[in-house]
Amino acid sequence: MNPLELFLVLAFAAQALSYTLPDIGINQEIADCKNANQLYEMAQNDLIHLNCIIKSLEDSLSVLTQISSLVGQVCGGQIYVKPLKFIQVNIKAKDKSSFQLRTKIFSQIAKIKEIQDKVAREPIFDEIVHSKVDKIINQIIVASAQSHEEQNSQTCKGLNTAIEELQDYLRWAINEISTEWINDYLAFRITNLEAMKNQQWVCTKVFLPKSAAKITYSSIWDYGSDISNIMDPNSEGFGWNSGAYPTGWIQFTFSQPTYVETVKLVVDTILNCNIVFYLIGDFGLDTKKVIAAVDQYLSEDQVLELTVKAAFTNFRIITTKAQSWVGWKKVVFYTGDQNCKCI
C-alpha cells in the first residue's frame, strides 16, 4: 500500500468513526439492520486494514531507528561521502585507480541508498511524514559530505530533532488507531453487526394510549371488562358492546385537538350482516365533520381501517343500522408515526 492509499484508508476509517455520533440517529440503525451481513464483512475488512496500517507504522518506526543510527554514524565521522562534484568528475574515469575510487565511493554511500530504498518500499503514515523522511535523508547526504566540524553544527542537531518528532508522531498515530478506532469503535461495531446478522427491521405504528381519551357511550352491556382496553391493539378484552340494537354510539374525548392518521376498527357482531355507521370528528365547538360513512356487509372480527389525517377533540362512532347489538372490539387511533427496531 503506497502512502496515498494508506492516507485514504485512514480517511475512510475516520469517516466511519463519525457514524457512531448521535446525529446519525435512526437512519444508521436502519442501514445497519438491513445490510448487517455486508456491513459486518466490511467492518472485518476495515479491522484487517487498520491492523495493517499499525504494522506499517511500526515498520516506519523501525526505519526511523535505522535512520537515527545512520545519523549517528555520519555525524560521528564513520561515513564520509565525497562532494557530488568530485564524484561526477571521477565517475567517467577508465583507469584502475579511478575504478577503485568509484567502488569505494559507492560503498560509502551504500548504507544511505539502502535506507532510501527501504523508505520507498515502506508505507509511511501520510504524505507529510513521507516528505519529512525524504528531507531527513537528503540532509544526511549533505551531512555525509561535510567535514566533521560542520557535522557537529546545526545539521546534526536538526536531524536528531526531526527524527525524534517523527517518532513521537508515529507512536501517537499507532496509539490513536489502536485505542480510538480499533478498540473503541470497530470492536463495538463488529459486535453489534454480528448480533444483527439474523435480524430484521420491524416497524409498528404508534397508537394513542388508552389514557389519552375519556370514553363515553350511549349504553353498555356490563361484563366486567376494562373498556379502555378498546384503544390498545395489544391488550386482551371484549371492547365495547352497547347491549342494544341501533342506534348506538361510542365517543372518545381528548383534552385538546389531537392529530390522527387512521382509525382501526375491529367489528363486534353476533350476526354477520349489513351495518351502517359513521365516524364523526368534532373540534369541540359543535364543529362536526363526517370523516367516514360506511354501509357494507361486515363479519365478526373483521378489521376496517379508516383514514382521518386531521386533528379533532372528539371522535364519535354512530351505528344506525345492524341486525345485531352495536359494538366494537377495538377502536385504535394511530398517529402516523412508527416505532422501529431491529429484531
Most confident of 37-46, 79-88, 169-178, 326-335: 326-335
Secondary structure letter of residue 275 according to DSSP: E
Residue with cell 551504500: 110
For residue 65, what are the contacts with CB-CB under 8 A and spacing of at least 6? Answer: none
CB 70 within 8 A of CB 163: no
Cell 564513520 belongs to which residue? 78
Q: Which of 60-74, 122-136, 193-207 has the highest mean pLDDT?
A: 193-207
Q: Which sign does the torsion angle of CA 28, 33, 39, 44 carry?
A: positive
Amino acid 262: pLDDT:
96
Choose between 151 and 269: higher pLDDT: 269
Rounded alpha-carbon distances, angstroms, from residue 295 to 50, 57, 65 = 67, 76, 89
**Closest listed residue to residue 256, CA positions, set 207, 299, 216, 311:** 311
Domain limits, the chain: 3-196, 210-342
pLDDT at 233: 92
In this prediction, residue 144 carries a pLDDT of 64
The chain-wide mean pLDDT, for the chain, equals 77
What's the confidence (pLDDT) of residue 127? 61
Res 63 pLDDT > 90: no
Region of poorest pLDDT, from 38-42, 51-55, 293-297 = 51-55
pLDDT at 207: 95
**3 state DSSP class of 225:** coil
Beta carbons of 215 and 227 less than 8 angstroms apart: yes
**Peptide bond just before 269 cis, omega within 30 deg:** no
Q: Band of the pLDDT at 163, cuts 50, 70, 90?
A: confident
Query: Is residue 102 over pLDDT 60?
Result: no
As a whole-number percent, the residues of the chain with pLDDT over 70 amount to 68
More confident residue, 208 or 3: 208
CB 325, CB 221: distance < 8 Å:
yes
Cα–chain-centroid distance for residue 121? 34
Cell of 192: 453489534
Q: Are 333 and 315 in contact (CB under 8 A)?
A: yes
Q: What is the pLDDT of residues 214-240, one digit of tens each?
A: 999 999 987 666 788 999 998 877 799
Model confidence pLDDT, tens digit, residues 288-313: 899 999 999 999 999 999 999 999 99
210-342: CATH, from 3.40.1170.10, 2.60.120.260, 3.40.50.620, 3.40.50.10070: 2.60.120.260
57 pLDDT higher than 50: yes
Cross-strand partners of 298: 273
Q: How far apart are CA 115 and CA 139, in angstroms?
A: 13
What is the DSSP secondary structure assignment for residue 231, as one 8-state letter?
G
12-39 pLDDT, tens digit per residue, is 444 444 333 333 345 788 888 888 999 8
The predicted pLDDT at position 330 comes to 96
Judged by DSSP in three states, 255 sits in strand
Can you give the pLDDT at residue 167? 84
Whether residue 141 contacts residue 112, with contact meaning beta carbons closer than 8 Å, is answered with: yes
Tell whether the model's pLDDT for residue 79 goes beyond 60.
no
pLDDT at 285: 65
Please tell me which residue, 43 or 111, carries the higher pLDDT value.
43
- Overall pTM > 0.85: no
Least confident stretch, 45-54, 65-74, 89-98: 89-98
DSSP of 13-65: HHHHHHTTSGGGHHHHHHHHHHTHHHHHHHHHHHHHHHHHHHHHHHHHHHHHH
